Amino acid sequence: MDHGEQPILELRNISKRFGGLKALEEINISIETGTVHGIIGPNGAGKSTLFNVITGLLRPNSGEILLKGNPLSHIPPHRRIPLGLARTFQNIRLFKNMTVEDNVLVGQHVHTPTLILSIICGTRPAIEWENKAKESANTCLRRVGLESMKSQFARNLSYGEQKLVEFARALATEPELILLDEPAAGMNAEEKAGLLKIISKLRDDRYTVVLIEHDMRLVMEICDQITVLNHGKKIAEGEPQIVRNHPDVITAYLGKGSNAYAGTR
């Protein structure tokens, strides 16, 4: 990031309570454009709650979220997508009886310029948009290595491939910031290696990626910065090597006598 460039995402003193449970407590995170930022921590640390707050599925009890310097707090989830924010989910949410291509085309709806009536009647603008949308969908599938599978039904793909379809659908919304919730879960070693290449290429193209991930090898290899949560609090943050050797991280997340490459689940 150039000196003085504004962070793409800022979380300022974000807190979220569920009754008496403090799921997030005074969380401050600044994420730079064109970087890969990891969010790690044990189960129940508040990682998914943090993603849900960023995307608007949950409203924080206090604090402020800024996307490119603009506050998001009062913007509903569906209005955050056209602003450049996309996400995938820990549990796959695909239309299993639709083709791979059609699943990705769903992500294009936020940029649909034509009226529903024009689409139904098959007007020239609608046809032109449809062709453009398919071209864009194929580009997204090419990014994740699944263009050759575009005509297959999503239900016929492996679990790892289905996660990549969801990734491609997120890319189809034309985001600047992509939140990936455990993207490597259920993937074999070959698929994880492919995922690393995809994320690395996105960073090269100035996308910003924030990921929740339990595979510590993947986190340490791909992330520029890592934030560690435990019991809703930020206990460490910094470059992988710093976080890996942080005593609070070793104690709270990895266990005493362990190291960051041991991996946990």
Name the helix (H) or strand (E) containing 212. strand 208-212
Q: Please indicate, yes or no, if residue 29 is contained in any of the structural domains.
A: yes
Residues 72 and 116 in one domain: no
- pTM for the structure as a whole: 0.85
pLDDT tens digit sequence for 198-247: 999 999 999 999 999 989 899 999 999 999 999 999 999 999 999 988 98
Residues 10 and 73 in one domain: yes
Q: Please indicate, yes or no, if residue 249 is contained in any of the structural domains.
A: no
Q: Which of 174, 196, 230 is the last residue of a domain?
A: 174
Count of domains observed in the chain? 2
Q: Please indicate, yes or no, if residue 165 is contained in any of the structural domains.
A: yes
Tell which residue, 115, 141, 114, 116, has the closest CA to residue 129.
114
Residue-range definition of the domain harbouring residue 128: 89-174
CATH number of the domain where residue 232 is located:
3.40.50.300
pLDDT over 90 for what percent of the chain? Answer: 67
Residues 80 and 156 in one domain: no
Is the pLDDT confidence value at 90 over 80? no
Q: Please indicate, yes or no, if residue 260 is contained in any of the structural domains.
A: no
190, two tokens: 């070959």
CA distances, 212 to each of 31, 55, 102, 228 (Å): 14, 14, 27, 10
Residues 11 and 61 in one domain: yes
pLDDT tens digit sequence for 147-157: 999 999 999 99
Name the helix (H) or strand (E) containing 31. strand 21-31
